[in-house]
Amino acid sequence: MNAHGERVIGGIRREALDHVLIVNEAHARQVLAAYRRHCNAHRPHQARQQLPPDAEERPDATVHDLNARRVLRPQILGGVISEYHYPA
């Protein structure tokens, strides 16, 4: 279990905490909550066949004309992490 814990903590540190200057405990909690929401709702996981943990089923794999649709790019943690998706 130690290896799994080190991997998770290392990932959080490399992907979020190394890019943000943490001011106090409340700010650290806010940054970690934003990262947790990103990981559970958007980030693909290999153990789930590239689905995020909160996804119920595989999204539609239809090929879209990229010139006809806009891609939204919300930024997480002030631009440290970007998510890409089509508008509803």
Annotated domain spans of the chain: 2-82
Q: State the pLDDT at residue 65.
A: 64
Examine the pLDDT at 60 and tell me if it is beyond 60.
no
- HEC string of the chain? CHHHHHHHHHHHHHHCHHHCCCCCHHHHHHHHHHHHHHHHHCCCEHHHCCECCCCCCCCCCCCCCCCCCCCECCEEHHHCEECCECCC
12-46 residue pLDDT tens: 888 888 888 889 999 999 999 988 888 887 777 77
Reported pTM:
0.61
